[in-house]
Structure 1
């Protein structure tokens, strides 16, 4: 028995980023075109939602790939309803049956049918149908203007409000200027320039020109120094030697579209008649990523987090498949299985379950690092959540021979996404239990404050003599290799709790005597009395 969960994997993938949207669009087109997913309205609608975030070039490439498939007519119609370039690529590549072409023809625009008229592999019935559209496709639509009789009764009113209308026009003009001033200008990527014999730039082919014209390629000039821009020694030395140069640096001050760092190259110009030096002609471009020594740290983190999330997505699918198949063997759903193989399958399933948890933790860490953590408004009762998490962790507590003591029932709720709240509490308590020794009791408590509700946990003895820095780096110590320990290490789990708490507006503090998870509380649910448990 084989399960094809490709469509489910694609639909569950992250598509909010530009890279994710392009990947999801390509994969959906491939699945639908190869018949591995139905061309039903929901999937076509999903493609329509992604289309606005996928560049034209990618959509043209996907449309051309229909030549390698036998696409359904709904997918071809979807591409035919795109821009003329995308529609032309799809209609040139698609192969359909005669009945499907007949269904598609009335839905095409005139330029789409013009593309089909250039094909010579269509059935004769389709060629006749295209010929029947010929007259309509060549008509130019024209709608004569409707004459409106002037309203003489309101002429006097128009004259009376002539000044008010002029004031409104002035206000509208000022508003448009303010909007244009506040609209961010896309930075230029390249421009060409010419400098005179003194090295002063006199011409560029981009705007705003005033930021660059008057700058000098010579360090000895006076034009560029007063403006605050500078070229490096490569450009200045080449100018003095009347020699070509490339890879030189230019800094244009200001926040305009032409401001910022540039890499320039230039060649000298000489008079053909006299041979005298007349200036430099060159080209400027933005520095590439490897040439920029001050790349944004936030951008680097976002790129790294996106790569980690793609890796997590690639790991999740085969891991889930292994877990599902081992469970089928363990339960004997595929037929009779010897006890030895059943036990082996159960052991594999338990190991894979831990691996799935580690993959989810990596995905969560990547989302936090990349600023892509999904948060919804909501609240969750603290006592109810602790009771549910305690039941889930009961097998781990039994395996470790330890006891998790929960606080008594009390009023209080956390003001955050219930899913993120459960992630925080379960990972913190699971990490504590994984390091507990047989017979050890971990006491928990709830303490209400001003706008906050804190969860306190008495740390196990393995953590009692370690400071915060040591615990956060505890990834390969003896406490991390015992049964039930986090697969990625105790230090990673504690760092994950700390970062997730900060992301939801809380704080996680560690001391040898007490671990405290401080989270925002629902207004009106705080109390002045703390409810704690003692071991």
Structure 2
């Protein structure tokens, strides 16, 4: 059973600092408003307690972040009691049950109820409840200096019988005092001068002459932010950049340029087309990459269709020998029903590509050996750290560890060792590619090397149910001992992975002049098409790969190592032959400094 302690974690945060209160406020609003945690009483009480200490800008931003998030009644009620700048974003989009709206209306101030009067999705019950407040919500407050000059009369409060279980009491409104308008002098006066004697007009003129100060910029809230805000800003930036970028399809087509127009239905099937290749376009589906028998479209259009988004320059190929045969570029915009907003299809054009637009992209350049070696170094460092920590857990160096965790640490250690071997292989391949492999020739006993390799591969042989038969005689070869061990380690591991249960890899050493040849019986599972270069198909590589980098890579690495040591590998029908220079023969390669 899993317990979600997210709410407890947030409520346990420090509320003694302004930043802590702002952080807790934003987190609680986001969690409760998106219904990730229940609207517990202690969470709502915490919000009520810290809200006065949270700046208005932060509370307003939190309210705007709940647009269309369907917050619960308790949170909507909390925001509705706040100032209008905080309550308005929530009241415009909140979705509550009719009974919850009726409970909330009696607690709202007239400006807040005025926001709900503009909504058309509250239902008849809530609208009748709003009507029960009558004209009391439409009385204008007298906010002028002094208050005695108000001349706007307000009608007497009218209370309608609400169709609710509990009648709502209209809020008493005291009409502002009314000052008598001075009489018009008997002498002639223009209508404008008479109007200026009215206090309302005079006040309006006075306010119009005073330039209002620009509103202060909304401060950027400190503290944590939501990923959704960052994503929205990124989308807005990309959309603005896309609109400002010139496209090949913008503007009228050049004279004589072949173009087609088309329209699709809601399923993405072209139902109408006009132009040279209209017959091939009719029935083409943008929903699936590939298309029909005569025309094929690439995955750009299919991906845009799934998102109901526009697309530009999708590849279209029309088969045949007609005037429309060949390559086209399609661009289209999605269409929506103005009344219902329902997706109705695409409307677009297709044009012939300009010279160079269909040029095949250059093959990606292989990473430079130096860059690959740098990457290998970056991979080796964390892998060694993983191996070290897993050993510390297995050996209980920091204290007692349960057996199940020790087993898991052992598995991590084994997998990390395999990964480190693959990283070393990549490093070795990069050194060979850049001719930076360091070789220190010496006389090496073949049987001693093969015995060490067989000991290391004993778990793999046991897993495969196979056996390794070492050669009876020994021979000394000239070469770098570490490189020779790596050569036979990768080669024999790959051959073991291709053995069947009960099969034995028999080895024998022969003399051939100044060379020593190791013969290994060919396993039954090794593909017949394997040649000296170690080339295998992807299917065969996935079927019996012994190393993380695959069988093909292991065989190529062994073959390259053999060449670096002055030898070669031959793949015969019955055996694999590895030829290396004999000790003292003088045919080995000189050491190369990295």
TM-score tier by shorter-chain length is 0.3 to 0.5
- For normalisation by structure 1, the TM-score amounts to 0.40
- For normalisation by structure 2, the TM-score amounts to 0.36
Higher relative contact order (CA 8 A, sep 6+): 1
Larger Rg: 2
